[in-house]
Amino acid sequence: MISKRVLISGAALLLFFATALSQGDVKHFSKDGLLFDYTNGWSITDESNTDAQQLTLNRADSDVQIRVFVHRGKVDTPEKLAKAKSAFIDPYVKSVNDTFVQMGAKPESKPSKIKVGEIEAEGVQLRASLGGEAGEADVYWLPLTNRVVVLTLFGPDAALKRATPTWDMVRNSIKIESSQSKASPTPKGKP
């Protein structure tokens, strides 16, 4: 009898998700090998360039921003990841901290980790209070299919709670398609 209940509950859950998907509650981003899902109602600003894909997700009714940064360079060793961290991740975290300071806040920083898909990402949480309203900026980075991905979540605490489903969807669905170059055939009789 218990297994019937589990089966019925599972079927109801699948039906719920299928209905949500069919109603367009989920949007899909796909460009230059970067793929992720996000919820309806969010818009994407694409500021990508030859060095990196840079996307910002916003909602008109929210002060939260989700940023996705994917460096186009190949990072396939721990040494290259360390170089990327000192070249652009650490300066980025410092610029986020400096933005809080320029706004009159005194940010507090602590190391953090989060799952991005199935991979644990390193990160930092910057907490601050602006005009009596507490908020934070969470910055996480990881190598994904030989590229460095940096994900950032900004906003006041109350708005962050409402944005959690979209943040979770982005970080759990993000993928980088590997660019597999097609081997050109070697003419017969040549090595």
pLDDT band at 18 (very low <50, low <70, confident <90, very high): very low
The neighbouring-strand residues paired with 128 are 135
Which domains are present in the chain? 25-176 (3.40.1000.10)
Q: pTM (2 decimals)? A: 0.80
Where residue 5 falls among pLDDT bands split at 50, 70, 90?
low
Spell out the residues 6+ positions from residue 92 whose beta carbon is closer than 8 angstroms to its own: 69, 139, 150
127-184 per-position pLDDT tens digit: 999 888 999 999 999 999 999 999 999 999 999 999 999 999 999 999 999 865 334 4
Q: Which residues contact 88 (CB under 8 A, 6 or more apart)?
A: 71
| Per-residue confidence (pLDDT) for residue 178, from 0 to 100 | 81
